[in-house]
Chain A
């Protein structure tokens, strides 16, 4: 399965994502510079974490208008898989590929620690290798991870079974303990925790592997 990892000025989890996909999972993976208008031949695009464009104005606000994001939107529209991690989640929200927004943590602190996540549904290309209710231990590292959306949006997400991951102990004030959601087509997913930082034993947890194994299981090998 072919992966593309977007690189913005200020991305800093792009290499971790690349390493996990290329070296841990042995998948053909390439970088896509933010100025590129095409993603190349990819099945799944990763919008990685970091501080794209210095988090200026709002997290993800500037990155959203980059040429590569136009290509990501087209890829998503055509049914291709997109996963946004941390800053990637913020960018996907700013780009309206996912509803809601990520705002400052309730504590105002940057939080970097392992958290427990509950898999709320396995009906998605990003959680199909998990068990419903399974607890994953994956790290977060963010200052703006508090998910916010109006009540009617949250109700819609619940009705459509689009909340894929919830925090067991809400670290940041996210509405309804939301840690990860998908779009209506279920092919675009955003999560604040970093599965790429929890895909090898040496890193203290391998639970993040399940997210990537789900993606690999979702797309038939060509």
Chain B
């Protein structure tokens, strides 16, 4: 089993990386871009087990370590 986690800067948090990449995309003539935000993608390989228990565990890991709730939002899926 594998947990796939996406951590993104909160909407209220400045994302200068996203802004810079937006400008770069525009400079190479990509059109119609409203906004770019840059976050992190993580994969955690799991030994397996009860999916509900794993959900709870990954959620706790996201809250405690993998994201900082002050500045980031997260979402994840667990795939078999």
Contact = CB atoms under 8 A, between A and B. Distances in A.
Contact of B68 (A94, A105, A173): A94
Interface stretch (A36-44, A143-151, A204-212): A143-151
A35 interface: no
A61 B68 contact: yes
A19 interface: no
A173 B14 contact: yes
Contacts of B13: 103, 148
B16 A104 contact: yes
A108 B20 contact: yes
A101 B16 contact: no
A58 interface: yes
B70 interface: yes
Contacts, number: 36
Interface string B64-80: 01101011000000000
Given A104-B16, A173-B14, A57 B71 contact: no
Given A104-B16, A106-B16, A108-B16, A65 B70 contact: no
Interface in A78-104: 93-94, 99-101, 103-104
Q: How large is the interface on A (under 10, 10 to 19, 20 to 34, 35 or more residues)?
A: 20 to 34
A107 B14 CA distance: 11
B12 interface: yes
Interface in B21-80: 65-66, 68, 70-71
B70 to A, nearest CB: 4
Contacts of A61: 65, 68
A28 to B, nearest CB: 35
Contacts of A58: 68
Contacts of B20: 108
A139 to B, nearest CB: 22
A148 B14 contact: yes
Interface string A52-84: 000001100100010000000000000000000
A149 B16 contact: no
A146 B14 contact: yes
Contact of A101 (B65, B66, B71): B71
A65 B70 CA distance: 17
Interface string A3-26: 000000000000000000000000
Contacts of A107: 16
B70 A148 contact: yes
Interface in A199-222: none
Interface string B1-27: 000000001001110110010000000
8 contacts: A94-B68, A100-B70, A101-B68, A103-B13, A107-B16, A148-B14, A148-B70, A148-B71
A-B pairs, top 6 by smallest CB distance, nearest first, are: A101-B70, A101-B71, A108-B16, A106-B16, A101-B68, A58-B68
